[in-house]
């Protein structure tokens, strides 16, 4: 399952539509509009870069500003430039939008999330009084500070459970009706829009005794986007990996990773197994790639080109089961891509089984490329172990 990410400002608009309180804000796309919006907030506001990554606060991308000079500085520093947080890793994302938001006076910061628990076949509500910080850190150091509640799929969230969470968050009982509305709103949003994750970190209690979502991250199940056209329109390609976008247009499932072994596989399950083999041989996959059904020479060639376009790739591992896609056709597609690519060709490890596999192997052996053939996963693993 792949997930569509959207920006914080888009997430907050959805929260608002489902009755979850968020601070007043406007979105700026350049310095002029940022300053206009800033003055509308009487020159005191929180400025927040909008990128598809968390950890912005720690990286300087969230700032309380109370004069025009600092607002200009913030705009000049970020608009049009690349931004990195601990979540983006070595990659960085471009800042095209900045949220100008009314500043809140925080009394306490909490964590609240909804996600699918596959093992339990339910949506779980996750809550913690330790909001604002990295929740993974809380989970590893203070697991008792995290509450995880599977919602009964038939009943939905019940008053009893909502009280239980309220209590766990050390919130006063008088806040029940506010909190109840928030949980029910989030649950309805999750179902109505086929979300895969709603994460509010922090959910705050402010000095007016209001519970507000101060940050919001929502992701959606891509397989359900066909029935959520309004959500598909929220996609921001400037935040996504170029190779992933191109691959998606061709119907190839490609996810960029950080290792050195590029993979070309048909079938998502086989692709996962192949990545496991790479990892157990002490190496790391450079990508997940599922060519998908109905692949022809052109599609196979483009899949190989996508993998070759990644500079980290030192080895390309092909694990194909030829059915409708014949192995000889695939072999020709690979050669096309290798001929087109400029860099030094990588080492190739190829396992092809099924229709015309012998013919495919013959075509590939008659080339100048450095190829090792494998018959099964064990042999792939042995060849990879020698490369480590």
Tell whether residue 112 is a contact of ligand GDP (CB under 6 A): no
Q: In the complex with Mn ion, which residue's Cβ is closer, 110 or 350?
A: 110
Of these, 101, 215, 290, 328, which contacts Mn ion (CB under 5 A)? Answer: 215
d(CA 309, CA 262): 10
CB of 54: closest distance to ligand GDP in angstroms?
4
Axis-axis angle for helices 31-40, 68-78 (nearest 10): 150
Measuring CA to CA, which residue among 33, 44, 30, 46 is closest to residue 97?
30
Tell whether residue 215 is a contact of ligand GDP (CB under 6 A): yes
For residue 202, say if its preceding peptide bond is cis, omega within 30 degrees of 0.
yes
Q: In the complex with Mn ion, which residue's Cβ is closer, 45 or 53?
A: 53
Tell whether residue 96 is a contact of Mn ion (CB under 5 A): no
Tell me whether residue 208 is exposed, middle or buried, using C-beta atoms within 10 angstroms of its C-beta: 0 to 12, 13 to 18, 19 or more. exposed
Give the residue at shortest CB distance from Mn ion.
Answer: 215
Of these, 104, 128, 301, 305, which contacts ligand GDP (CB under 6 A)? Answer: 104
Catalytic residue among 199, 222, 244, 297: 199
CB of 221: closest distance to Mn ion in angstroms?
22
Tell whether residue 214 is a contact of ligand GDP (CB under 6 A): yes
Of these, 20, 28, 46, 303, which contacts ligand GDP (CB under 6 A)? Answer: 46
Catalytic residue among 8, 9, 109, 111: 111
Q: In the complex with Mn ion, which residue's Cβ is closer, 110 or 281?
A: 110
Tokens 């013959």 locate to 362
Catalytic, 190? Answer no
Q: What is the DSSP letter of 342?
A: -
d(CA 288, CA 263): 7
Asked if residue 377 lies in contact with residue 277, where contact means CB atoms within 8 angstroms, the answer is yes
Q: In the complex with Mn ion, which residue's Cβ is closer, 48 or 253?
A: 48
Tell whether residue 104 is a contact of Mn ion (CB under 5 A): no
Q: Which of residues 326-385 bind ligand GDP (CB under 6 A)?
A: none
Catalytic, 369? Answer no
Q: What is the DSSP letter of 285?
A: B
Give just the sign of the alpha carbon dihedral 216, 222, 224, 230. positive
Output helix, strand, coil percentages for the chain, rounded to the nearest 5. Answer: 40, 25, 35
d(CA 295, CA 303): 10
Of these, 157, 185, 202, 333, which contacts ligand GDP (CB under 6 A)? Answer: 202
- The interface region with Mn ion, picked from 22-30, 77-85, 209-217, 245-253 by CB under 5 A, is 209-217
Which residues, in sequence order, are CB contacts of 264 under 8 Å at separation 6+? 289, 291, 300, 303, 304, 307, 316, 317, 318, 319, 320, 334
CB of 220: closest distance to Mn ion in angstroms?
19
d(CA 11, CA 183): 16
Of these, 21, 55, 129, 267, which contacts ligand GDP (CB under 6 A)? Answer: 55
Give the residue at shortest CB distance from ligand GDP.
Answer: 57
Interface residues with ligand GDP (CB under 6 A) are: 46, 48, 54-57, 62, 64, 103-104, 106, 109, 132, 201-202, 214-215
Interacting residue ranges for Mn ion, rule: CB under 5 A: 201, 215
Q: Known catalytic residues?
A: 111, 199
């Amino acid at each position: 399952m792949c997930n569509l990410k959207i920006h914080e400002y888009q997430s907050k608009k959805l929260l608002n539509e489902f009755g979850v309180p968020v601070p007043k804000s406007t979105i700026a796309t350049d310095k002029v509009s940022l300053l206009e919006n800033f003055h509308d907030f009487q020159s005191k506001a929180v400025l927040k870069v909008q990128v598809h990554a968390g950890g912005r606060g720690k990286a300087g991308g969230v700032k309380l500003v109370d004069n025009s000079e600092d607002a200009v500085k913030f705009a000049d520093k970020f608009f049009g430039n690349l931004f990195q947080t601990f979540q983006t890793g070595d990659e960085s994302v471009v800042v095209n939008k900045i949220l100008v938001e009314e500043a809140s006076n925080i009394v306490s910061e909490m964590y609240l999330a909804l996600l699918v628990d596959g093992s339990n076949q339910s949506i779980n509500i996750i809550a913690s009084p330790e909001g604002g910080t990295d929740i993974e850190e809380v989970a590893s150091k203070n697991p008792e500070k995290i509450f995880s509640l599977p919602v009964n799929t038939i009943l939905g969230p019940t008053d009893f459970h909502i009280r239980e969470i309220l209590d766990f968050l050390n919130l006063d009982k008088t806040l029940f009706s506010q909190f109840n509305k928030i949980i029910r709103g989030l649950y309805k949003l999750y179902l109505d829009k086929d979300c895969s994750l709603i994460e509010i970190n922090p959910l705050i209690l402010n000095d007016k005794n209001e519970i507000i979502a101060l940050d919001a991250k929502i992701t959606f199940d891509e397989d359900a986007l066909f029935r959520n056209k309004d959500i598909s329109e929220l996609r921001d390609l400037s935040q996504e990996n170029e190779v992933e976008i191109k691959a998606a247009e061709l119907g190839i499932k490609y996810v960029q990773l950080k290792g050195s072994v590029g993979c070309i596989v048909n079938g998502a399950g086989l692709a996962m197994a192949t990545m496991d083999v790479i990892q157990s041989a002490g190496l790391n996959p450079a990508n997940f790639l599922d060519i998908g059904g109905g692949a022809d020479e052109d599609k196979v060639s483009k899949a190989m080109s996508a993998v070759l376009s990644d500079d980290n790739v030192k080895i390309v591992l092909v694990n194909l089961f030829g059915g409708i896609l014949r192995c000889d056709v695939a072999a020709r597609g690979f050669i096309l891509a290798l001929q087109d690519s400029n860099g030094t060709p990588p080492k190739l490890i190829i396992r092809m089984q099924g229709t015309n596999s012998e013919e495919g192997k013959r075509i590939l052996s008659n080339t100048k490329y450095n190829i090792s053939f494998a018959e099964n996963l064990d042999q792939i693993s042995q060849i990879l172990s020698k490369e480590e």
